[in-house]
């Protein structure tokens, strides 16, 4: 019998480990993440290290806690503009790196319009989020690793039994 519905969309559904996280108790700011992605911690660690290096580039400039230049525009217009451009550049790089860890637009969900070089308690808000996120997903990754090891262990036991039988027959 011919299928007259050739343009019908089909869907494949499977568990991906996606969890939704409300950012700072704001239901309008939902970050969707595969918490069992074994590569996410490595991407976070690399990203944080890269961003710490980017933040060092701002060391030559005095900044306010909100990331704006702590230079009086009227007293040093050129210095103010250089600092402002450095802050914008680092923010752009940090957002690109953040989105590469998660997905395009994730930095807007998590940080809104805030400059990611903004510091709270001596760390950038970028670092503060990454630390909080890593601590949140670590139990999920560890639990998934345990389940995976148990499954692999079962296969290994079966393999060892078969191998022992084959070795026993050859002697």
Residues 116-156 have pLDDT tens digits of 888 888 888 988 998 899 888 888 888 877 887 777 777 77
Write down the domain spans for the chain: 40-139
Percentage of residues in the chain with pLDDT exceeding 70? 88
Q: What's the pLDDT score for residue 72?
A: 74
Q: Say whether pLDDT at 112 is over 90.
A: yes
- Spatial distance between the Cα atoms of 161 and 64, rounded to a whole number of angstroms: 66
The DSSP result for the chain, as a single string, is ---S-TT----------EEEEEETTEEEEEEEEETT-TTHHHHHHHHHHHHHHHHHGGGGS-B-TTSSB-S-TTT-HHHHHHHHHHHHHHHHHHHHHHHHHS-TTHHHHHHTT--TT-EETTEEHHHHHHHHHHHHHHHHHHHHHHHHHHHHHHHHHHHHHHHHHHHHHH-
pTM, to two decimals: 0.69
> Which band of pLDDT confidence, cut at 50, 70 and 90, is reported for residue 171?
very low
pLDDT (average), residues 50-73 = 71
- What confidence score (pLDDT) does residue 103 get? 93
Q: How far apart are CA 162 and CA 22, in angstroms?
A: 49
Mean pLDDT of 85-106: 90
């Amino acid at each position: 019998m011919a299928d007259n519905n050739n343009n019908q969309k089909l869907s494949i559904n499977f568990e991906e480990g996606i969890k939704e996280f409300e950012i700072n108790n704001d239901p309008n700011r939902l970050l969707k993440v595969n918490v069992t992605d074994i590569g996410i911690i490595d991407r976070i660690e690399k990203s944080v290290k890269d961003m710490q290096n980017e933040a060092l580039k701002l060391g030559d400039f005095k900044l306010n806690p909100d990331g704006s230049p702590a230079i009086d525009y009227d007293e040093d217009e050129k210095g103010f503009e250089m600092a402002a451009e450095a802050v914008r550049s680092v923010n752009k790089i940090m957002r690109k790196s953040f989105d590469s860890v998660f997905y395009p637009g994730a930095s807007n969900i998590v940080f809104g319009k805030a400059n990611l070089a903004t510091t709270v308690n001596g760390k950038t808000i970028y670092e503060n989020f990454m630390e909080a996120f890593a601590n949140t997903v670590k139990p999920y990754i560890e639990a998934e690793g345990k389940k995976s090891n148990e499954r692999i262990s079962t296969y290994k036991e079966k393999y060892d039994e078969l191998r022992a039988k084959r070795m026993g027959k050859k002697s």
